[in-house]
């Protein structure tokens, strides 16, 4: 019997682990190298520690970059159904929230890592941590995978080194260098799903305030989600979702602090509150309706004297306040950098990757998956689903 093909997977994130599982299940001998001291460090941070691992709505418009055909093929070959079925067989139960986002039933990202690590062990995948791959050379046949002071030969390589976003978790763009050395083009890299630097100083006292808001950027559809104010501006799912629209450059728009309520409704409610809370200090007019710091800011920015009583707010000022509550002008200076981004926009050029196998069109035996590829998804589990799907295709094809 011929000996099985040896597949080397570089990178022990979600994509690398899933590629290793797929290749080992297809009968290959698999070696997985990870430069961190443990696997899946970024995976553990996903979804605020809950891991939003997929989504019910897998419409292609949720994916960006150069790999339309690659996404379509990967999702049809190994979409959310087979992904969740595989995880289910590994003991991972899941649920979908009211936005269609899929989470482990335990609400712990650690459960996803646990399932993958157990499967890697069951399949006999050889894992080396604290092993940084510094070069991959063509061995003719196969490849020589080089660490400092140690070389390893193999028949095929799966490059799953991640991108350049949030480098504190391990992936720092090194995978792009490995791909370049093998002759691959890398499209321009930038941050995606990233907080926003706001202009002005109106938000400085709001640091730490978290609430559902609607952000309407000029020329874009309104986005409603949870925002978190920070010392530089806006973070949280709302900012991350809006960051794609901001990527083209500075922009402006409005923030509604009462999503779904029109100006007339808000004005009526303010009139009622003015009657009911007549003796209160104006600065505290909105306390009990909006977060206190947000209420104080809106009163201040509407030109209402903080020390006056609520009964002294005239109709004109009430109208200004209503306008600010439903459409507060917000200008966005810039995106925060790659350091704070959840994912990388750009990556290994999909024009040099076969969509059906995720294999290189330039170097036979070389495969790509996950964030290292020029595909990035919206917030909502799309990036991890891309990892699972592309990795399954790459790992299976590498083993074949």
Ligand X SMILES: Cc1cc2nc3c(=O)[nH]c(=O)nc-3n(C[C@H](O)[C@H](O)[C@H](O)COP(=O)(O)OP(=O)(O)OC[C@H]3O[C@@H](n4cnc5c(N)ncnc54)[C@H](O)[C@@H]3O)c2cc1C
Q: Where are the beta strands (DSSP E) in 97-170?
A: 101-104, 126-128, 133-138, 143-147, 150-154, 156-159
Smallest gap, in angstroms, from Cβ of residue 25 to ligand X? 18
User: Judged by CB, which is closer to ligand X: 162, or 236?
Assistant: 162
**Which residue's C-beta sits nearest to ligand X?**
13
Smallest gap, in angstroms, from Cβ of residue 187 to ligand X? 16
Smallest gap, in angstroms, from Cβ of residue 168 to ligand X? 9
User: Judged by CB, which is closer to ligand X: 172, or 251?
Assistant: 172
What residues line the site for ligand X (CB under 6 A)?
A: 10-16, 33-36, 41-43, 45-47, 51-52, 132-133, 160-162, 166, 170-171, 174-175, 342-343, 370-371, 381-384, 387
10 Å CB burial of residue 395 (0-12, 13-18, 19+) is buried
The bridge status of strand 156-159 relative to strand 210-217 is unpaired
Smallest gap, in angstroms, from Cβ of residue 198 to ligand X? 21
Smallest gap, in angstroms, from Cβ of residue 167 to ligand X? 9
Structure tokens at 25: 């299940």
What whole-number distance in Å separates Cα of residue 306 and Cα of residue 290?
16
**3-state secondary structure (DSSP) of residue 64:** strand
Smallest gap, in angstroms, from Cβ of residue 383 to ligand X? 3
User: Judged by CB, which is closer to ligand X: 190, or 291?
Assistant: 190
User: Judged by CB, which is closer to ligand X: 258, or 342?
Assistant: 342
User: Judged by CB, which is closer to ligand X: 177, or 292?
Assistant: 177
User: Judged by CB, which is closer to ligand X: 195, or 253?
Assistant: 195
- 11 Cα distance to chain centroid: 18
Smallest gap, in angstroms, from Cβ of residue 385 to ligand X? 7
For 280, other C-beta atoms within 10 Å of its C-beta total 16
User: Judged by CB, which is closer to ligand X: 43, or 286?
Assistant: 43
Structure tokens at 151: 């070389």
User: Judged by CB, which is closer to ligand X: 41, or 241?
Assistant: 41
Smallest gap, in angstroms, from Cβ of residue 280 to ligand X? 41
Smallest gap, in angstroms, from Cβ of residue 379 to ligand X? 7
**3-state secondary structure (DSSP) of residue 306:** coil
Residue 104, beta-bridge partner list: 94
10 Å CB burial of residue 218 (0-12, 13-18, 19+) is exposed
Helices (H), 249-381: 263-276, 292-301, 315-326
Smallest gap, in angstroms, from Cβ of residue 172 to ligand X? 7
Q: Which residues of 153-164 are buried (b: 16+ CB within 10 A; e: fewer)?
A: ebbbbbbbbbbb
What whole-number distance in Å separates Cα of residue 144 and Cα of residue 137?
5
Residue 128, beta-bridge partner list: 33
User: Judged by CB, which is closer to ligand X: 116, or 277?
Assistant: 116
Q: Quick one: CA dihedral 266, 272, 277, 281, positive or negative?
A: positive
**3-state secondary structure (DSSP) of residue 174:** helix
User: Judged by CB, which is closer to ligand X: 295, or 346?
Assistant: 346
- Which residue in this structure is represented by tokens 């992904």? 83
Q: Residue 25 in contact with residue 19, Cβ under 8 Å?
A: no
Q: How many residues belong to the chain? A: 400
């Amino acid at each position: 019997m011929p000996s099985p093909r040896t597949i080397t997977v570089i990178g022990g994130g979600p994509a690398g682990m899933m590629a290793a599982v797929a290749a080992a299940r297809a009968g290959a001998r698999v070696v997985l190298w990870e430069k961190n001291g443990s696997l899946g460090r970024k995976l553990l941070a996903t979804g605020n520690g809950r891991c939003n691992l997929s989504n019910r709505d897998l419409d292609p418009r949720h994916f960006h970059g150069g790999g339309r055909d690659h996404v379509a093929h990967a999702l049809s070959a190994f979409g959310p159904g087979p992904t969740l079925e595989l995880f289910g067989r590994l003991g991972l139960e899941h649920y979908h929230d009211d936005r269609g986002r899929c989470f482990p039933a335990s609400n712990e990202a650690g459960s996803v890592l646990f399932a993958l690590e157990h499967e890697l062990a069951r399949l006999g995948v050889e894992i080396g941590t604290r092993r940084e791959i510094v070069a991959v050379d063509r061995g003719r046949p196969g490849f020589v995978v080089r660490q400092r002071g140690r070389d390893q030969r193999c028949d095929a390589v799966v490059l799953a080194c991640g991108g350049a976003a949030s480098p504190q978790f391990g992936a720092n763009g090194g995978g792009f260098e490995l791909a370049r050395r093998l002759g691959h083009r890398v499209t321009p890299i930038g941050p995606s799903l990233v907080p926003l630097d706001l202009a002005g100083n109106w938000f400085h006292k709001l640091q730490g305030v978290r609430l559902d808001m609607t952000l309407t950027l000029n020329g874009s559809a309104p986005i409603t989600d949870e925002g978190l104010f920070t010392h530089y501006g806006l973070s949280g799912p709302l900012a991350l979702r809006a960051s794609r629209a901001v990527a083209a450059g500075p922009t402006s728009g409005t923030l509604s602090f009462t999503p779904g309520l029109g100006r007339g409704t808000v004005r009526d409610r303010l009139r009622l509150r003015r009657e009911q809370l007549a003796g209160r200090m104006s600065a505290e007019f909105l306390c009990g309706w909006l977060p206190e710091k947000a209420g104080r800011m809106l009163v201040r920015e509407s030109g209402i004297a903080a020390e006056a009583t609520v009964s002294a707010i005239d109709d004109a000022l009430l109208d200004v306040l209503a306008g600010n509550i439903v459409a507060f002008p917000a200008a966005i200076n810039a995106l925060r950098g790659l350091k704070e981004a959840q994912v990388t926009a750009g990556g290994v050029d999909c024009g040099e990757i076969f969509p059906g196998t995720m294999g290189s069109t330039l170097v036979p035996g070389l495969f790509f998956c996950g964030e290292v590829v020029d595909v990035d998804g919206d917030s909502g589990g799309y990036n991890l689903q891309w990892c699972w799907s592309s990795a399954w295709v790459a790992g299976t094809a590498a083993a074949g």
